Amino acid sequence: MKYDLWQRLFTRFLQTFHLKRFFERHRSFKEMHQSSYAKEIGQALSQQLKTNAQMEMSQLLEKLHTAQDGLTEAHAYQQQQTHGLNEVAQEKPLTWWQHVWYCYRNPFNVLLSLLALVAFLTDDFTGGLIITTMVSLSTLLRYWQESKSNKAAESLKAMVTNTAMVLRHNVNTQDQILIKQRYGIEVKQLKSIQFEIPIQYLVPGDIILLSAGDMIPADCRILTAKDLFVSQAAMTGESMPVEKYAAAHTSDINSPLELDNLLFMGTNVVSGTARAVVMSTGIQTYFGALAHRVTATDYAVTSFQLGVNKVSWLLIRFMLVMAPIVLFINGFTKGDWGEAVLFALSVAVGLTPEMLPMIVTSTLAKGAVFLSRKKVIVKRLDAIQNFGAMDVLCTDKTGTLTQDKIFLSHHVDVLGKKSHSVLMQAFLNSYYQTGLKNLLDVAVLEAVDQDMKFEKLRFKKLDEVPFDFERRRMSVVVRTPQAQVRMVSKGAVEEILKVCSHVELQGEIKQLSPALRHEIQTITQNYNREGLRVVAVAYRNIDTHQESFSVADERDLILMGYLTFLDPPKESARPAIQQLHAHGVAVKVLTGDNEFVTQKICREIGIAHDKVLLGGEIEMLSDAQLKVAVEQHTIFA
């Protein structure tokens, strides 16, 4: 009877260790629930953004309880109390005691603590003190190293501050006091005023002013815009800035990021100016929803932690089996149960590697110190082993593998042969335009040599026809050294071809026949497939003595050739890829750019580029199919 009782108790004791499976199932269910909830939020937000993009501006302003000249400060303060600060979800910093507990908790430390307690209770102060010292040193060393890294990361964040220019109206004495208290800014009592505030104080309904270089601080609808180009590389991976307009959107679009009258938090203004109304802030933004989906999921247990835990539980099970057996054998055979308990305790201590937590922590800390000399901050020591065990690296393209800067790669004639004449005419067009120069113009201006820069002095500007988004071209009119009046046009290939009647081939002017037009389209499409952006250059000599020119004069042009532009790879990209491959790390590219651009870059830096999976194809795959596709493909575009 006594033996059966002990057997049942011992079996029940071992079964308690399977509770961890319950907690693992609970965590999996929790992560699934949180992920599903975050996905629902993202879908609802996408629909809301589409609705706002299609609304008339007066309706949207009424919906947001605002006006063209902004909110009053009192109203903005009320909105702040309702919507909270304009901050995206991020990992909450641990308190010091939570961090200490995080550093302490693992099966070995808990077991050693129990053994130390038993040692003290059995008057083995030396053994208890040694075990306690090992546990304390292991915990404090990890706490000290991770705290230092976290402080370094926080100091880097503190160096970055962003502000936004907002409008306020009907500023009275109370508003003056409120503005002084909230932002530390002294303003006058005026009907309407604009000033900069930290972006975390923005609220829905705020009217903000944007210009080149500004970061978009929230999800906004454009009220007015002039030559507005926005880089959405952080959201979509597109290397080229996208054009933004103020008009309401009428067509149905699947992705909110394709809406050209909306601005999204996390993107930035490349050129132009705009006035916009804030629609949503913080975690209610599109960027905030993405961040919420990331932070809603708990940290996954790393392979290193799994390995340590498996070894820990194995040794604990050995100890739990051996210690009672030794206890009972000694107790029943010798009759001295006190001596049996001490001997069983010594067996338990002998089976437990007291130095293992200390050795593991000190080794990881040494790795963190080494990485810190390489200017890498390690916030969690366990990440070092994961970093070293990596066999697949997923990377973005724009700004990571590439320089995130547009360069002129080719200047060729109609048949694709290098031509300095084409570059010269394009240079005159880019140099003499008075509008805001875009990235392509800057690339052209940087590509010419000193001789060509001096050559421009022989030309005199007479007039220009500015760029607009309907024509997608712009023209300048100059007087040549031969006293001829010449219109030089530059723009999208299809738009330039619409106004061309002839082409220049090896110095001869020929009629633009259907066969030539087809050949031109084939050549430019080949450039596009190589990942290049193509701009056409054309001109026309004008015999009249007119002083002003308009869009109507952009006719019967002569196509000279093309310019091609590329965001080239970084010089360090290829050596880095080679080193990764040498260490057995496969590299996969995840980008929002098109497949042709990505394939060209990957080909140049040594990444396999033959297997490409597009976003639309991924949407059609099941989870099981996607798992197979992820193994087989290297480019996701």
Residues forming the active site: 396
Half-sphere exposure of 150 (CA within 13 A, CB side): 15
Q: Which of 605, 608, 597 is nearest to 576 (CA)?
A: 605
d(CA 250, CA 54): 6
* Cα 33 from Cα 530, distance rounded (Å): 43
Number of H helices, E strands in the chain: 23, 19
Per DSSP bridges, beta strands 242-243 and 485-492 are unpaired
Tally of CA atoms within 13 A in the half-sphere of 65 that contains its CB: 8
Which H, E and C letters describe 354-395, residue by residue? CCHHHHHHHHHHHHHHHHHHCCCCCCCCCHHHHHHCCCEEEE
Containing H/E element for 549? none
Distance from C-alpha of 471 to C-alpha of 500, rounded to nearest angstrom = 14
Q: How far is CA 440 from CA 17, 35, 45, 97, 427, in A?
A: 65, 41, 34, 55, 11
What are all long-range contacts of 27-31, with beta carbons under 8 Å and residues at least 24 apart?
27/298, 30/298, 31/297, 31/298
The angle at the Cα of 128, spanning 124 to 130, to the nearest 5 degrees, equals 120
In sequence order, what are the residues at sequence separation of 6 or more whose Cβ sits closer than 8 angstroms to the Cβ of residue 238?
A: 232, 398, 592, 593
Nearest residue to 365 via CA among 144, 537, 182, 188: 144
Give the pair of three-digit tokens for residue 395: 């990377």
Vertex 614, ends 613 and 618: CA angle to 5°? 85
C-alpha distances in Å from residue 37, one per residue of 30, 42, 403:
10, 9, 37
CB 525 within 8 Å of CB 595: no
In sign, the C-alpha dihedral spanning 461, 409, 469, 398 is: negative
The one-letter amino acid code at 128 reads G
* 298: number of Cβ within 10 Å: 11
Going by their DSSP bridges, the two strands 612-613 and 635-636 should be labelled as parallel
The Cα 403–Cα 59 span in angstroms is 42
